[in-house]
Amino acid sequence: MSDAPDRAALDELARCREEIERIDDQLVTLLARRMALGKKTGELKRLANLPILDPTREAAVIRRVSEVAREAGLPSEPIREVFWQIVGMSRRAQEVE
Amino acid sequence: MIIITRHNVTDAEIDHIRERIESVGMRTHLSRGEHRTIIGCIGDESLLQEVPLRSLPGVESVTPVLKPYKLASREFAVDRTVVRVGGRDAQASFGGPAITVIAGPCSVESHEMLSTTARLVRAAGATMLRGGAYKPRSSPYAFQGLGAEALRILVDVRAETGMPVVTEVMDTRQVDLVAEHSDMLQVGARNMQNFALLAELGRVRRPVLLKRGLSATIKELLMAAEYIMANGNHDVVLCERGIRTYETATRNTLDIAAIPVLKRETHLPVIVDPSHAGGDAALVAPLAFAAIAAGADGLIVEVHPDPECALSDGDQSLAPPAFATMMQQLHAFAAAAGRSISVAAPAPRAVA
């Protein structure tokens, strides 16, 4: 392998990174929307006199996304981990009144 | 509790089983083998009393795990775990058919010293480099390590030799910095039950080398591994490094029996540190041979280019020629144990 970097490959790498950043922005925007909805469900649970922690619902959310991930050709284990984090974040936001 | 699934279990059935377990507030861990899949349940098992696990589609059998460690227990994984260290440019692995030897100085003293040692141990057959940046010394007046400067030296020598590096992390505040500069994070014997540190290491994406505490039982070592795993990092390599006994002829007593016992109790790889165990260079080779004969997956050995002038642990450091001789003799012990010695990949640049 020569030491000189391939110019075209470097340009393409920079473009890919820009695209990744745009997708990350969208992911964060979507997460913010998800969190806002989570907070709203927290308020509704309080009005309906339901507990904030709902393991049955959390388990159903995780099962559903692992199916969706598999259909999309993604490995479901890491996607489950990511969604346990998201579900946990949403639960903590709901717990704060 | 572990659930062993039927041979022809479908993804949908596995999803359903996991959903039923997670619906009561527990978590699950999946281990897939060629012929069977195990679903491990993590959390308060009394919650599962109401779940008819045995009658769920796809379930073959349900077995309670009576040990306090779950994720680390042998039952939780279909196969033994192989921990892969490093990336494409510098890699090693623990727990496969080959034995991996880590070698290097107790502490990083300078670039020249580390670079020289790395080249010599690599030529002798070591595939991974050790070197302390932060040293937990018994005396506050002893040399404490070069810290961040040592980390930079480790990165440079890693690039020169293609050897992945392991270095000790002593404090939760150092975890990110050390993870950025090394391929594997070592928890020293004195920190084995530093639970805040273990939990923090559970959150990083770097394998952990967990050394057994001086007075820790095997169960306590496995519970320490469980801490790291429960926090999300399943790449843990255990290290027997000698325990404190009434014997004073050696610095510690190498607990050889711990190797087969750990192999029975856990799916995690087990390596041995013959340098700290004996505390004497003359004991390193015989203890290393015994470790490999007893089934260890690797060794971590202190080597110093000039042990007499070492800033720390000179008494137990091997000089490079003694290390090379030991490595040659090690092949016969590995072969007797049905193993081989891991071979280094070609260096990125010419290594003298």
Residue B34 is part of a domain; what is its CATH number?
A: 3.30.70.1140
Pair (B15, B109) in one structural domain: no
**Rounded to 5 degrees, what are φ and ψ at B129?**
-110, 135
C-beta of residue B268 within 8 angstroms of C-beta of residue B238: yes
pLDDT for B349 equals: 55
Pair (B17, B122) in one structural domain: no
In B, which residues are within 8 Å of A58 by CB distance?
22
Pair (B48, B170) in one structural domain: no
Pair (B118, B40) in one structural domain: no
Identify whether A34 is part of a domain: yes
In A, which residues are within 8 Å of B15 by CB distance?
63, 66-67
B20 touches chain A (CB under 8 A): yes
Give the whole-angstrom CA distance, residue B69 versus residue B321. Answer: 42
Q: Using the beta-carbon criterion (under 8 Å), do A55 and B15 form an inter-chain contact?
A: no
Pair (B158, B302) in one structural domain: yes
Q: Using the beta-carbon criterion (under 8 Å), do A59 and B18 form an inter-chain contact?
A: yes
Element (H, E) at B31: strand B27-32
| AA letter at B166 | V
In chain B, the number of structural domains is: 2
Q: Which of A26-30, A42-46, B57-61, B309-313 has the lowest mean pLDDT?
A: B309-313
Pair (B53, B176) in one structural domain: no
B19 touches chain A (CB under 8 A): yes
pLDDT in tens, A56-86: 999 999 999 999 999 999 998 999 999 999 9
CA angle B292, B227, B68 (to 5 degrees): 85
Nearest Cα residue to B197 out of B232, B226, B171? B171
Identify whether A1 is part of a domain: no
pLDDT for A5 equals: 79
Give the domain CATH number at B271: 3.20.20.70
- The helix/strand/coil state of B332 is helix
pLDDT for B352 equals: 45
* Structural domain for A74, as ranges: 7-95
In A, which residues are within 8 Å of B18 by CB distance?
59, 62-63
Task: Examine the fold and report which residue of B64, B93, B112 is the final residue of a domain before the chain moves on.
Answer: B64
Pair (B35, B120) in one structural domain: no
pLDDT for B345 equals: 65
Please enumerate in sequence order all residues whose Cβ is within 8 A of that of B148, keeping only pairs 6 or more positions apart, or say none: B133, B177
Pair (B256, B148) in one structural domain: yes
* Structural domain for B56, as ranges: 2-64
Give the whole-angstrom CA distance, residue B28 versus residue B41. Answer: 5
pLDDT for B142 equals: 78
Identify whether A73 is part of a domain: yes
Pair (B122, B35) in one structural domain: no
Identify whether A55 is part of a domain: yes
Element (H, E) at B299: strand B298-302
The number of angstroms, rounded, from the C-alpha of A17 to the middle of its chain's C-alpha atoms is 19
Q: Name B318's bridge partners.
A: B303
Would you tell me which residues 231-290 of chain B have a C-beta closer than 8 angstroms to some C-beta of chain A? 232
C-beta of residue B76 within 8 angstroms of C-beta of residue B230: no
How would you classify the pairing of strands B208-211 and B236-240? parallel
Pair (B56, B132) in one structural domain: no
CA angle B277, B283, B289 (to 5 degrees): 90
Q: Using the beta-carbon criterion (under 8 Å), do A81 and B232 form an inter-chain contact?
A: yes
Q: Give mean pLDDT, residues A43-66.
A: 93
What is residue B188's DSSP assignment? P
Give the whole-angstrom CA distance, residue B109 versus residue B157. Answer: 13
Pair (B257, B128) in one structural domain: yes
pLDDT for A97 equals: 61
Pair (B91, B32) in one structural domain: no
Identify whether B347 is part of a domain: no
- The helix/strand/coil state of B216 is coil
pLDDT for B49 equals: 85
Q: Using the beta-carbon criterion (under 8 Å), do B20 and A67 form an inter-chain contact?
A: no
In a mutational test of the B interface, the residue from A52, A71, A80, A85 whose CB has the highest number of chain B CBs within 10 Å is A80
Give the whole-angstrom CA distance, residue B332 versus residue B191. Answer: 35
Identify whether B280 is part of a domain: yes
Give the domain CATH number at A41: 1.20.59.10
Please enumerate in sequence order all residues whose Cβ is within 8 A of that of B46, keeping only pairs 6 or more positions apart, or say none: none
Identify whether B349 is part of a domain: no
Q: Using the beta-carbon criterion (under 8 Å), do A63 and B24 form an inter-chain contact?
A: no
Identify whether A81 is part of a domain: yes
In chain A, the number of structural domains is: 1
Identify whether A2 is part of a domain: no
Q: What is the mean pLDDT of each run of 10 residues along chain B (352 residues)?
A: 91 95 93 88 87 92 89 92 91 95 94 95 96 83 83 95 95 93 96 95 96 96 96 96 95 97 97 95 96 97 87 84 96 95 68 46
Identify whether B78 is part of a domain: no
A55 touches chain B (CB under 8 A): yes
Task: Please give the C-alpha separations between residue A33 and each of A37, B131, B132, in angstroms, as whole numbers.
Answer: 6, 47, 46
Give the whole-angstrom CA distance, residue B284 versus residue B274. Answer: 5
